Amino acid sequence: MKILLTNDDGINVKGLTTLRESIKEIADVIVVAPETEQSAVGHAITLSDPLRVREVERNGEFIGYAVNGTPADCVKIAVRAILKNPPDMVISGINLGANIATNVIYSGTVSAATEGTILGIPSIAISLATFINPDFSFAANFAKRLALTTHENGLPEGTLLNVNVPNIASDKIKGVVFTRQGSSRFREEFDKRIDPRGHTYYWQGGEMLFFDEDSDADSGAIKSDMVSVTPIHYDLTDHKFLEKLKNWKIK
């Protein structure tokens, strides 16, 4: 296998480095990742500015390519310009922080995997459910095992796997559950401030509110100390409502 690795946290973060070392055990690896952090950019792509690509080395070893663009940009340019042939798989991560429930919409990590899926490549997004004291070792090992299983079984057209791993010791993880996307909403708070030149600016904060923590939802799985694997499709059509909508009479 040849596997393309990317993320939204930037090419130099530990999550990507740990993932690379694990995936190297089963496949040829190429890394094409953002130059800087691109968290929560969603599926944005760069159209009005040029994309610049540079080779990255660490301790004399070639690591991969850094791109001054978004995660989706990285996958596009890797497949269409950098690589001679498309990879057999795209893995995006390991993200710092869970990508569950409606976070999936904002996630650059998931969007990179979605872009791989759009390009017809089996793709996986993987995240660690913490921002504090992360241990990526179990998540990296799980990504390797899931990559082998995915390569063997394949994925339906248009579907990617969104994986979230609890940040606990491996012997505390209670198993793997195949889940649906849960429901949540971010309650924003904007801290109004004044800069040194007297101009007003706002700093966004807040908290995520989860409304659906059943055992079959991604957020519920994480709360229950289980690995969540959710199949996601980029078709956003509400097919059930579409049938009712056809009966509307627009006045």
Domain of 15, CATH number, reads 3.40.1210.10
Q: Is residue 197 part of a domain?
A: no
Per DSSP bridges, beta strands 159-166 and 227-233 are antiparallel
* Residue at 204 is within a domain: no
Strands 159-166 and 123-129: parallel
Q: Would you say residue 206 lies in a domain?
A: no
Q: Which of 179-188, 192-201, 220-229, 235-244 is predicted with the least confidence, judged by mean pLDDT?
A: 179-188
For residue 87, what pLDDT is reported?
Answer: 98
The pLDDT of residue 211: 65
- The residue-averaged pLDDT of 37-63 equals 94
Domain-located, residue 75? yes
Is 116 among the domain residues?
yes
Contact 183, 141 (CB under 8 A): no
pLDDT at 4: 98
| 31 domain-assigned | yes
Structural domains counted in the chain: 1
pTM: 0.92
> Which residue do the tokens 């990285």 mark?
74
d(CA 240, CA 243): 6
Condensed to tens digits (0 to 9), the pLDDT of residues 68-99 reads 999 999 999 999 999 999 999 999 999 999 99
In a domain, 193, yes or no: no
Tell me the per-residue pLDDT of 7-26, one tens digit each, with 9 for 90 and over.
Answer: 999 999 999 999 999 999 99
Q: What pLDDT score was predicted for residue 188? A: 80
Q: Which helix (H) or strand (E) holds 18?
A: helix 14-23
Distances (CA, A) of 124 to 147, 154, 173, 215: 8, 12, 20, 22
Cα of 199 vs its chain's centroid, Å: 35
Per-residue pLDDT, 189: 85
pLDDT of 206: 73
Domain range for 65 is 2-184+212-245
Work out the mean pLDDT of the chain and round it to a whole number: 94
- Residue 203: inside a domain: no
